């Protein structure tokens, strides 16, 4: 599984990280970083979905 990231719309609320820190690492400024897509480690798919759903701007889209 992967997660598509639309960085230009991220406002740094860090709700993804609050729900799934093992999937969504943040940079020093509290943003997900300049990645277009994250690889989700096996077994963390549900955490990735929960973190994506917590994003107020909906910048994260799980790709099954």
| CATH number, domain containing residue 25 | 3.30.70.20
CA distance 1 to 45: 7
Q: Domain total for the chain?
A: 1
Residue entry with tokens 């997660």: 3
Question: Residue 19's domain spans which residues?
Answer: 2-63
What's the confidence (pLDDT) of residue 14? 94
Q: How far is CA 11 from the centre of its chain?
A: 12
pTM of structure: 0.89
The tens place of each residue's pLDDT in the chain, 64 residues long, gives 999 999 888 899 999 999 999 999 998 888 887 778 999 999 999 999 999 999 999 999 999 8
């Amino acid at each position: 599984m992967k997660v598509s990231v639309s960085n230009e719309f991220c406002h740094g609320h860090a709700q993804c990280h609050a729900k799934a820190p093992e999937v969504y690492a943040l940079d020093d400024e509290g943003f997900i970083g300049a990645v277009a897509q994250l690889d989700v480690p096996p077994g963390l798919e549900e955490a990735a979905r929960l973190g994506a759903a917590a994003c107020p701007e909906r910048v994260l889209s799980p790709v099954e």
